[in-house]
């Protein structure tokens, strides 16, 4: 099996400068688990900021991130389910409201009405028509969280064009018989996880350009067996439940409040430009020209991260 260079852990100085919510949810974790939880939490949080936007190359962009974790089997990547818990209450609230609306319509018209449910966490094993319908109805954007390789591959094979368009928030449309849907600014966040070999297979079939649209955390060393009794704090879940409730309150309020624009200072813009210009120069001198598009996408990902950092 091909081996990678050992990926360094995310430095402690990064954790010390995180927003309070990310410091709190990652505090009781360490090593790879801590890094995977941070990566997946960023993907989740990016789906909960529908009122935040910024101008990037004169276009409006939103914080929505696509994150991917690749790790050996049984390396603790189940920790992404803890990140998912941050959005559970928001998802339940959205479903509850849409269910109530459906029941009201049933009583109002005294006849069968086609169900039209909204949600936040989108299941992937759906057809294209449903995918587009959910994206069009949920103005706050959708979130996909998945760790089953077969399901992820199905998504990449069938919906990769949606992922690519959503990364840049470019218009997407769908036509099927008497059904037509157009979405001007699609918002889609992803939190995915597989093994390294599964990742290679998935990305090879989807096309190399898609891989560069993900914020990817990857390692291949096998971790030791975790001491599941080491942490005496039985209330660890309480931190996630607290923030899940808080995020639902903020999400509900933000959907009907004013939009907030994120903007860098002039000095920050110069630093941003110089950093990625230096990377571009290095690529042109040392690497393949094909990598320049990767640098351009990385810059956009970094801008989205700054949005999240500033408003959480």
Mean pLDDT of 186-193: 97
Q: Which two tokens stand for residue 243?
A: 């923030």
Q: Which range, of 28-42, 85-99, 184-198, averages the lowest pLDDT?
A: 85-99
Is residue 110 pLDDT above 80, yes or no? Answer: no
* C-alpha to C-alpha distance for 216 and 222, rounded to whole angstroms: 18
| Predicted confidence band of residue 237 (pLDDT cuts 50, 70, 90) | confident
Domains, the chain, ordered by start: 14-311 (3.40.50)
| Predicted confidence band of residue 2 (pLDDT cuts 50, 70, 90) | very low
pTM as predicted: 0.91
Mean pLDDT of 140-163: 92
110 vs 298, residue with greater confidence: 298
Which tens digits make up the pLDDT trace of 29-88? 999 999 999 999 999 999 999 999 999 999 999 999 999 999 998 787 789 999 999 999
Q: Which two tokens stand for residue 282?
A: 């290095």
Tallying the residues shown for the chain, one arrives at: 312
């Amino acid at each position: 099996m091909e081996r990678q260079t050992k990926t360094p852990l995310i430095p402690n100085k990064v954790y010390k400068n995180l927003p309070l919510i990310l410091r709190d949810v990652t505090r009781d974790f360490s090593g790879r688990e801590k890094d995977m939880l941070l990566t997946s939490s960023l993907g989740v949080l990016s789906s909960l900021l529908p009122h935040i936007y910024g101008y990037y190359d004169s276009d409006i962009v939103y914080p929505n991130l696509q994150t991917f974790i690749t790790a050996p089997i049984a390396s603790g990547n189940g920790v992404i389910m803890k990140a998912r818990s941050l959005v559970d209450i928001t998802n339940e609230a959205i479903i509850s409201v849409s269910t109530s609306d459906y029941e009201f319509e049933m009583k109002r018209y005294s006849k069968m009405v086609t169900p039209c449910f909204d949600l936040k966490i989108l299941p992937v094993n759906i057809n294209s028509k449903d995918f587009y319908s959910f994206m069009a109805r949920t103005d706050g954007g959708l979130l996909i969280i998945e760790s089953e390789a077969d399901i992820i591959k199905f998504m990449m094979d069938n919906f990769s064009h949606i992922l690519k368009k959503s990364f840049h928030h470019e218009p997407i449309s769908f036509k099927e018989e008497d059904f037509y849907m157009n979405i001007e600014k699609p918002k889609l966040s992803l939190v995915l996880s597989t093994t390294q070999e599964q990742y290679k297979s998935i990305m090879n079939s989807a096309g190399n350009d898609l891989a560069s649209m993900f914020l990817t955390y990857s390692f291949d060393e096998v971790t030791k067996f975790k001491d599941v009794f080491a942490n005496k704090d039985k209330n660890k879940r309480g931190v996630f439940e607290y923030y899940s409730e808080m995020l639902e309150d903020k999400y509900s309020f933000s959907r009907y409040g004013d939009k907030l624009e994120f903007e860098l200072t002039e000095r920050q813009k110069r630093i941003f430009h110089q950093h990625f210009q230096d990377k571009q120069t290095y690529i042109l001198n040392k690497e393949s020209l094909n990598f320049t598009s990767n640098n351009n996408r990385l810059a956009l990902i970094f801008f989205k991260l700054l949005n999240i950092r500033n408003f959480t």
